[in-house]
Amino acid sequence: MTTLRLAQGATASRILGIGSFQPERIVTNDELSQTMDTTDEWILERVGIAERRFAAKDESLVDMAVIAGANAVADAGLAPSDVDTVILANCTMPTPIPNGAAQVADRIGVKAAGAFDLNAACAGFCYALNLASDLVRAGSARRVLVIGAEKLTDWIDPVDRANAIIFADGAGAAVVGPADEPGIGPVVWGSAGDVVDLIGMRDGVIYQEGQSVFRWATTQIAPIALRALAVAGIEPSDVDVLIPHQANLRIVESIAKKLRAKGAREDMVVADDIVYSGNTSSASIPMAMDHMRAAGLVKPGDVALLVGFGAGLSYAGQVVICP
């Protein structure tokens, strides 16, 4: 009988480096209130966003992903040739083919990369991070560049005040590679396809039933985050940093409050990147981590709890050790 040889993977995986990119143009609430019926007060109070970034017309999702990805590779102290696989999480590519990941890999200089896009909307980065970790541990890849990038402004009705004030553009990335000690915990992921109609695209623009999604996020996501801790063998009090998808500051605060009720520390750092970045879907978690590290709020070795959630409805969460 012929026996196939199996790939030999690493004992464990970890995040080796992170990076991000935001377009130059800052859009304030006051600017938006000039073109739609909204106010700075309403947006700050209901969503917590003070300003966000919009990409230029000729600045693509791939352009942003390339810069974030290259920054993460450099942060890991690696050359592009050290990476062999690129996963681009997104839900806003202008066309389904060609995929973005192969273009990003080529432009960064990752030759002949295994490259594919992954769509789990705002949960996409956490899905892709888990996949990268599994690929490294199974021996299918040595080092994986995981990017979450979105150009949501291509898909927004600019006068739809419910969505145009929330969504924004940007990219965040992480390099995942082998490790002796686990740096990426098991994922808790899932979906609620029975409520798929709550967020989607209609006539080429995003719609969402905001209040229903809000209720789902504020009731379902904290228990998922707690399960991610449990499967990693981590107590709530061990969490140094909480980085939920940046959908609405009130959702972030609700998740933090529920975790603190279960023993998370008062001094646990809670990501509030949405205030200056808006909701960037799959980019929001890695971008928040990168910004928080630059601000000194996240240190190498910190225990971070990530949890993404959004259209699908899909969710995914895991514990990571910050690079």
The residues binding ligand UT7 (CB under 6 A) are 38, 42-43, 46-47, 122, 161-162, 165-166, 208, 210-211, 213-214, 217, 247-248, 251, 279, 310
- Least spacing, CB of residue 251 vs ligand UT7, in Å: 6
Catalytic pick among 122, 163, 248, 322: 122
- Least spacing, CB of residue 139 vs ligand UT7, in Å: 34
Cβ atoms of residues 208 and 293 within 8 Å: no
- Least spacing, CB of residue 312 vs ligand UT7, in Å: 10
- Please identify, using beta-carbon distances, which residue of 217 and 226 lies nearer to ligand UT7: 217
Cβ atoms of residues 309 and 251 within 8 Å: no
- Least spacing, CB of residue 144 vs ligand UT7, in Å: 25
Catalytic pick among 71, 90, 245, 248: 245
- Please identify, using beta-carbon distances, which residue of 122 and 321 lies nearer to ligand UT7: 122
- Please identify, using beta-carbon distances, which residue of 161 and 262 lies nearer to ligand UT7: 161
Q: Which residue number places its CB atom closest to ligand UT7?
A: 210
- Please identify, using beta-carbon distances, which residue of 213 and 242 lies nearer to ligand UT7: 213
Please state, in angstroms and rounded to a whole number, the distance separating the CA atoms of residues 140 and 129.
Answer: 14
- Least spacing, CB of residue 216 vs ligand UT7, in Å: 8
- Please identify, using beta-carbon distances, which residue of 38 and 92 lies nearer to ligand UT7: 38
Catalytic pick among 163, 279, 291, 322: 279
Please state, in angstroms and rounded to a whole number, the distance separating the CA atoms of residues 146 and 113.
Answer: 12
Give yes or no: 291 in active site. Answer: no
Point out the residues that are catalytic.
Answer: 122, 245, 279
